[in-house]
Structure 1
Amino acid sequence: MSRSADHCIITLTLFFSLRTHMRLVYLALGWCAGIVIAADVATRRVPRHPLEWTLIAIIALIALIMFTRSRLWTQKTPRMIALALFALALGGMRFSLTPATSEIAAFNNRGGMTITGTVAAPPMLRDTRADIRLNAQTLTRTGETLPTSGLILVRAARHTDVNVGDRIAVTGELIAPPTLDDFSYADYLARGGVYSLLINADVELVSPAPVGDFWRILADVRAHTRDVIASAIPEPAAGLLTGILLGDESGISPDLEADFAATGAAHIVAISGFNMIVISSIVIGMLSRLNLPKRRAAIIALIIIGIYTIFVGASAAVTRAALMSGLLIVGRSIRRKTFVPASLAFAAILLSALNPLTLWDVGFQLSMGAVFSIALLADPLSRRFDRLLKRLSSRHADRLAAWLNEPIVVSLAAMLGTLPITMLYFGRVSLVALAVNLLIVPVQPMVLALGGLASLTGLIAPAIAAPIFACVLVLLGWTITAVRTFADIPLAQIDLPLHPNLAAGFFGVLFFAAAVRAEKPAWIGRVWAFIVRRKLVTIFVSLLTVGIILGVAHLRALPDGRLHVWFLDMGHSHAALIQTPDGAHILIDGGRAPSRLLTALGDRLPFTKRSIEIVILTQPDPNEYAALIDVVARYRIGALITNGQPNISADFQSLITRLTEQGTQITPAARGWRFDLPDGTRLEALHPDPVAMPELDDRFDPNTLMLRVTYGGVSFLFTGDANDDAQAAILAAGINPAATVMGVPRHGASGALDPDFLQAVAPQVAILQSDPANRFGDPDPNTLDLLGDIRLYRTDYDGTIHLVTDGVNLEITPEG
């Protein structure tokens, strides 16, 4: 089971340890845990199996019905556990029903084609292109037209004149969305049901949208509103106001967007719960002055919030914000205080029922974290802030608290809730966020109110809207100036990545605190009283616990006398990590993705270790060494083994310079080179030919350093990108390349494997390192056919492959 599934179960168990009244929260946790566990299971095999989860849900329902007849049903905690487990089964069943691909995705990476379909959403304008979501209907390739279905994302020229509802024909290359170093574009698009990307597209209008089409009318109004804003105020204020009001961030320059991110003010740009709360407050305030009954006013407010949500594009975060503000409106209308954790639970269940992949949406997670943290921490922080102000100035404390409470207290609470998520996904922390929010948050309600009024007025009477836009321009200018000024400060943000376990632990503690606050169990009071009375004992026990945890972690990281080999999932690059029986570490290549490689090393090396004994670079190709530059900055490298081929590129020279400054021994290796470690591990080079070492202008693949690692009777052959010429040269030299495990060369490309070489290696296991989104069509079916009955593991299916041997037996564990 993956770490994400473990985290869900740990959090669920933590909640079950308390007898709380948060029934909806229990159900939401069970439901979300089921979705995450089902997703984890789905990554281990293809295709998904909805029937299995349906049977589990039926069994859980039968068990729940039988449980209702037992005496335990009258007890609160067992009842909540039973309901949550049933919700877990339902969540798993819901995820299993989610499509893992689309019909048209079967044609990814097969070259150019023409696709016809209907534009599904208004085009998103970027600096250099327009992104168009197309609901595909037919596909024409090599003169044959086939019916098809599925959403694709079309990248066309920026000024392509199409809109939602139009029927168009697009011609270009259909590819699988890529997975980048620290961002999976494939996963991002999959959350919207898109599994294919058409690049360099030529677009032809087949027929416009039908007259009177609701979504087309809505898109036209939205576009007209954007034009009104653009004609009334200059950039960058116009782009910022469009983002705040309409959720369309395409007009915000990348530099300004980066400044907002660096200063912790990105939430101002996006439509969030803050915006929705302001809008709902304005609507309720206006309706209350008309002396309407509260329930009627609530209904009107809900309708307006719903229209606004649809108008700006109902993303997961926007819909969640609308749900939360709607629940607050309903709570006020029936004179009940809305319980925020339960409201969040309801929103999570509803949104993930519509699309289970919403749980992985970063914006959704940030919104949930911010609102939950505000609900839990805003009141305690506000009380402490009030006490601080009274100490400083008791005379003006109330006025200062009313003015500063929201920008300081609410912003601080929101930052605490979103900080672990920001560190986890982006690896950055803004040091000026609190100061910036103190300056810009107080003016944002006026920006929303006046900006919305000016835009609506501008649609009807532009002349009347002009003075209102002038006021808005002053407020936007203040916001932009504050953000840019603080973004220019050195160290406005720092790199500070966070391990997923720590992020999960933080929210586990936060959930635990929410449950304790809701129930206030007696034992918590007794524990707190003990801590207050016995501070020294508490400190000693805490330090002892930390020491035990660190000690156990250190013991688990100690070598176990066996050879460990990880074929790392680095996309379409080769990378492998070896731990010898005595605990030495050897890294073979590194790929192009520094964040992925550093995370893989951090997960597998002892947390106290900051060195790697040997790094082996099979060829000076950026696909193999680019990520090693960052590794050298974090770890001390004992020795670098290369194929001896020079490279004058700036990046490669930077790598060599950094290694030289460390005092790393750099050694070229060729056929006949051998290195025996004291623990019995042997490294030997099978290629290149020592008589004809590769020169600067030689091709990489024929001169790849092919390495065999042997421990006892088990051996591993790392072929890298060695092509058929290199394989034939090994056989011609009379070298026996036999190995227990063989890495498939060149990612299994067409002609990558020489049949005679494969017969000479005679592997029992083959490992294929490949990226499912690669544009080369790898692996080639003919290459896979050559493997025959050899056990094949693939990183694009199985993730990182972990192999362990004691020199006799071999254990294989896919870690995906």
Structure 2
Amino acid sequence: MTAIVLGSAWLIGIYLGSLVSLTPEASVISGSMAGLVAILVRREPALRLGLFCVAALLIGSVRYQLAIPTVDDAALQYYNGQGTVQVRGVVNSDPELRDKRLSVVVEAEQASIDGQWRDLKGSMLVYLPRLSHLAYGDTLELTGRLESPPVFDDFDYRGYLARQGIHSTMAYPRVRVLGNQGVAPLSWIYAFRKRLSQALDTALTEPQASLAKGILLGIRTSMPQPLLDAFSRTNTTHILAISGWNISLVVSFLCLVGGKLLGRRQMLAFAVGGILLYTTLIGPQPSVVRAAIMGTLLVAASYLGRPSDAIAWLAIAATGMTALNPLLLWDVGFQLSFVATAGLALLAPTFQSRLSFLPTWLNESLSATFAAQLATVPVLASTFGQFSPVTFVANLLVMPAMLPIMLLSALASVVGLIWTPLGYLPASLDWLFLSYMIGVVEYTASLPLASIAIAGFSFVLFVPYYAALAFLFLALRPLPISAPRPQNLTRAVPFGRVILVLALLVALAWATVFTMPRDELRISFIDVDQGDAILIETPSRQRILVDGGPGASAVMSYVGRRVPYWDRSIDLVALTHANEDHLAGLVEVLERMEVRQVLEPGLPSNSLTYRRWLELIRVKNIRTTKARAGQEVDLGQGIKLQVLHPSPQTVRDIETDLNANSVVLRLVAGATSLLLTGDANETAQRELLGSGQELASTILKVPHHGSRDGLIDSFLTAVDPRAAVISVGKNNTFRHPAPETLAKLKDVRVYRTDENGSVEVTVRSEGYTVETER
């Protein structure tokens, strides 16, 4: 109880420190005096505890004020917005590979000011091309513009980074690697984490691989945004955050192994060391650190034979973490982790006693779900402005799959490091559980009223809400042991296992149905944000992918859902041109799938992405054809893919203009045809008009995302489409599609990926149909 009271006083002191500016000297002196008097007052426990609380409160307020950085010319953030600067520093953590870029945290050491290198302090977040080769411990010299992190309408990104000690950003600077001074054990751990992640990428298709990495390794950066949105709408994002559940499983495994192989004393060191290693492996997020501290206390209490007190341990963890970083008190991850854990500790036993008539598996699942969700409602509502009525059902259905997913993902990744084919055995089972979880989350997220907007839920409402929850806790506190309980005749039957097995069989059946090829031609314009990616699936079981978009997650997730788990082949990958918004996603396709042939312009480019593209083609020995007008690919059953552009003459004349040399393809299936134009500009369109080739097509993929000069009138007249598709990103900075282009298409049925999501065209003998994602 003492730890809880003192911890609460400490946290209140930190919060008051953000509201009231007290001089650190006065607060320290007052707090020290209160603590000294408390030590002397031994015969009055209540007074003694009260004085210690005053001391904790005052020192907590001082700790907050000391955490606010001083901004002077020795601070890195002082130079934000002051033009181009040179900074030297060290990469202080594992670089984060995101969908479209590499994010690196650099601890600055020096900056060139007026031509002289001066020492300074501060951390910055640096954005670099996705394929940049950097590692923890690298010493860098960066030349670029320092900027303050932005504050968005719906998210305080500046505050989010400030809580991590980051007050500056630098986008795509010039980089020079000076050396490496990383701590060797950390370098080994980060390298091992990367290899585990790559093993899961190899063993699983998308989006299952990304979900497995999130659950096992805490890596969420490769997950497609629509899937993340589904988890958010159902309030199941806690599944993707390493927390107490994951740590408890690790603790159980370590204690089991340590107990079998080592003595009692050695088991304690083994378990604590394992917790520290796993925490370092997945990264010190607030929920992870909280769970690691409580897991360590649990092991220590078990070793010492002391009773466990989850709330006291929670208070100790909160005090220790905020002592190191007081700003964590405003971190939503920190808040959710502690509130949910408190709810589980206090409310779950109450619900379990009242639901004892249910089967044990259902009782425990329902109780944990109700406890955690009821405890976190105010935090979720005030932070995200939403409440999910389906969250109870979604959590109840997906949580039983968590244990097999974590175990099978760990087994697949570790075994895959030893021998890749062996990793496919546990991965095939893992894929089934992962597919089940994805299906449940996406289905419940699609239900009406899956998420209800809650406006104006302020901090003021926290007090009455938690007061009502406390009343519920007292009113429904666990029944005494002597009280009669309803007889549970169903516990002998493993209903939980039966239901989970049946659900998995249903998931397998549906997954098989959806991934099996169909006897019809399907063309999917994939929503990849601001870029192009088109998947063609033919009745003769051939797959053609035209472009891959600006990042890997969208195209890999879409293709992964459309191909059977056991067949990861693409018959032809066509690159229209080497711009990032068409090429970047294809690099991962080449890395992770079996590509039989590549069709591309064959024009030079110095980008990192294109160099990696060529390297993969060479290493994997993929047959490559330079696309030139007049070529034709027979796709069977009368379906043909014609290459209309570029012509050999165009390539010779304007080799450096990628858009003018963009590959243009025409897919012909009976009376239906589609013209896939890439980013063909006015020069390319006029070249096509003068080529004498057949341009008339049923559906037009509008060139260059519908830009203002992307579609000339005479070209549109020659194509004369009945429908048009514009592949474009929502709220893109280019303001595509342009009003002028949309005006030209006023008599054509237009589909846009920013509004309609992915667009699927199905061609049959009697014509075609169009279905959209939304």
TM range (shorter): 0.5 to 0.7
For residue 435 of structure 1, report the CA deviation from its aligned partner.
0.9
Query: What amino acid is aligned across from residue 96 of structure 1 in structure 2?
Result: Q
Contact 1:101–1:195 at 8 Å: present in 2 too? no
Structure 1 residues 350, 63: closer, same or farther in 2, change over 3 A?
closer
Q: Deviations over 1:637-658 (max 9, x none)?
A: xxxxxxxxxxxxxxxxxxxxxx
1:97 alignment partner, SS class: helix
The residue matched to 1:375 in structure 2 has which SS?
helix
1:496 aligned residue: 454
> 310-319 vs 456-465, which deviates more?
456-465
Using the size of structure 2 for normalisation, the TM-score is: 0.58
Among 348, 359, 377, the alignment partner of 2:347 is 377
Q: Partner letter of residue 397 of structure 2?
A: L
Distance 1:69 1:223, change over 3 A: closer
- 1:358 is aligned, of 320, 325, 328, to 328
Spell out the pairing of 1:630-669 with structure 2 (5 A cutoff).
none
Q: CA 1:233 to 1:162, structure 2 compared with 1: closer, same or farther past 3 Å?
A: same
The answer to whether structure 1 residue 318 and structure 2 residue 288 are counterparts is: yes
Structure 1 residue 510: Cα displacement = 5.4
Matches within 5 A, 1:670-749: none
* Structure 1 partner of 2:163: 191
- Residues 199-218 of structure 1: matches in 2 within 5 Å? 199-209=171-181, 213-218=184-189
RMSD value, Cα? 2.5
Q: In structure 2, do the counterparts of structure 1 residues 76 and 147 end up closer, same or farther at CA, with 3 Å as the change threshold?
A: closer
The match for 2:500 is none
Q: Which amino acid aligns with 1:59?
A: S
Q: What secondary structure is seen at the aligned counterpart in 2 of 1:386? A: coil
Contact 2:125 2:170 (8 Å CA) reproduced: yes
Instruction: Return the alpha-carbon distance in structure 2 between the equivalents of residues 223 and 460 of structure 1.
Output: 15
Among 438, 456, 459, the residue aligned to 2:417: 459
2:65 aligned with 1:96, yes or no? yes
Indicate the SS of the match to 2:33: helix
Quote the Cα distance in structure 1 between the aligned partners of 2:303 and 2:466.
32
Counterpart residue number, 1:56: 27
- Quote the residue 2:17 is aligned against: 38
Match of 1:311, as an amino acid?
A: L
Q: Which residue of 2 aligns with 1:551?
A: none
Kindly provide the amino acid, as one letter, of the partner of residue 459 in structure 2: P
Does 2:233 match 1:262?
A: yes
Work out the CA distance in 2 between the residues paired with 1:378 and 1:213. Answer: 43
Between the aligned partners of 1:512 and 1:317, the Cα distance in structure 2 is: 27
- SS in structure 1 of the partner of residue 355 of structure 2: helix
Task: Call closer, same or farther: CA 1:363–1:172 in 2, change over 3 Å.
Answer: same
Q: CA deviation at 1:67?
A: 5.1
Structure 2 partner of 1:110 = 82
Report the counterpart of residue 404 of structure 2 in structure 1. Answer: 446
Shift of 1:231: 0.9
Tell me, in whole angstroms, the C-alpha distance in 2 between the residues paired with 1:55 and 1:514: 40
Whole-Å separation in 1 of the counterparts to 2:168 and 2:39: 48
What does residue 148 of structure 1 align with? Answer: 120
Contact 2:92 2:105 in 1 (8 A): yes
Contact 1:156 1:202 in 2 (8 A): no
Q: How many residues matched?
A: 475
Correspondence 1:413 to 2:382: no
Greater Cα offset, 245-254 or 55-64: 55-64
Q: Structure 1 residues 156, 429: CA separation in 2 closer, same or farther (over 3 Å shift)?
A: same
Q: Output one character per residue of 1:219-276: Cα deviation in whole Å (capped at 9) or x when no partner.
A: 2111111111111111111111111111111111111111111112111111011111
Cα distance per residue 1:180-226 (max 9 Å; x no partner)? 2232111111111111111243333232456x722222221111111
Measured in 2, the distance between the counterparts of 1:118 and 1:41 equals: 36
Aligned positions of 1:217-296 closer than 5 A: 217-290=188-261, 292-296=262-266
| 1:252 alignment partner, SS class | coil
In structure 2, do the counterparts of structure 1 residues 193 and 163 end up closer, same or farther at CA, with 3 Å as the change threshold? same
Distance, in Å, in 2 between the alignment partners of 1:60 and 1:439 is 50
Output one character per residue of 1:405-444: Cα deviation in whole Å (capped at 9) or x when no partner.
Answer: 3322101111111111000100011121111111110110
Partner deviation per Cα, 1:347-386 (whole Å, 9 max, x = no partner): 0111111111111111111010011001111011011112
Measure the CA separation in 2 of the matches of 1:270 and 1:235. Answer: 19
After TM superposition, the structure 1 = structure 2 runs for residues 597-616 of structure 1, keeping only pairs within 5 Å, are none
Query: What residue in structure 2 maps to residue 429 of structure 1?
Result: 387
Say whether the 8 Å CA contact 2:203–2:424 is kept in structure 1: yes
**Which residue is 2:762 aligned to?**
none
1:120 aligns to 2:98 (yes or no): no
- The DSSP-based 3-state class of the residue aligned with 2:392 is helix
Counterpart CA distance in 2 for 1:427 and 1:479 is 25
Partner amino acid, structure 1, of 2:290: R
Corresponding position of 1:667:
none
Q: Quick one: structure 1 residues 157 and 61, their matched pair in 2 at CA, closer, same or farther if it must change by over 3 Å? A: same
1:101-135 CA-to-partner distances (Å, cap 9, x unmatched) read 56011111112222221111112122222211011
Give the aligned residue type for 1:27: L
Alpha-carbon contact 2:106-2:123 (below 8 Å) kept: yes
The amino acid of 1:41's aligned partner reads V
Tell me what 2:269 maps to.
Answer: 299
Go from structure 1 to structure 2 and tell me whether the alpha carbon gap of 1:140 and 1:508 turns closer, same or farther (over 3 Å shift): farther
**Gaps in structure 2 of 5+ consecutive residues:** 480-774
Correspondence for 1:134: 106
Is it true that 1:339 corresponds to 2:297 in the alignment? no
Matched, 1:475 2:444: no
Amino acid at match of 2:304: I
* Secondary structure, aligned partner of 1:74: coil
Aligned-partner SS, 2:173:
strand
SS at match of 1:186: helix
Provide closer, same or farther for how the CA distance between residues 98 and 512 of structure 1 changes in structure 2, counting only shifts above 3 A. Answer: farther
Separation in structure 1 between the aligned mates of residue 35 and residue 140 of structure 2, nearest angstrom: 52
> Paired residue for 1:81?
50
Secondary structure of the residue aligned to 2:164 is coil
Query: Structure 1 unaligned runs (5+)?
Result: 1-21, 43-48, 390-399, 521-816
Residues 241 and 287, structure 2, Cα contact 8 Å, conserved in 1: no
Query: Structure 1 residues 207, 317: closer, same or farther in 2, change over 3 A?
Result: same
Are the counterparts in 2 of residues 424 and 503 from structure 1 also a CA contact under 8 Å?
A: no
Going from structure 1 to structure 2, the CA distance change for 1:411 and 1:91 (only over 3 Å counts) comes to: same
Q: CA deviation at 1:509?
A: 5.8
Q: CA deviation at 1:294?
A: 4.3
SS of the residue corresponding to residue 338 of structure 1 reads coil
How many angstroms apart in 2 are the aligned matches of 1:146 and 1:515? 61
Letter in 1 for 2:148: A
Distance, in Å, in 2 between the alignment partners of 1:112 and 1:445 is: 50
TM-score (normalised: structure 1): 0.55
- Residue 161 (structure 1) aligned to one of 111, 121, 133: 133
Amino acid paired to 1:249: R
**Paired residues for 1:713-792 under 5 Å:** none
Asked if the contact 2:352–2:364 (Cα under 8 Å) also holds between the matched residues in 1, the reply is no
SS of equivalent residue, structure 2 residue 411: helix
1:506 is matched with: 465
Is contact 2:76-2:122 (8 Å) kept?
yes
Name the counterpart of 1:686: none
Residue 680 of structure 1 is matched in structure 2 by none
What's 2:298 paired with? Answer: 328
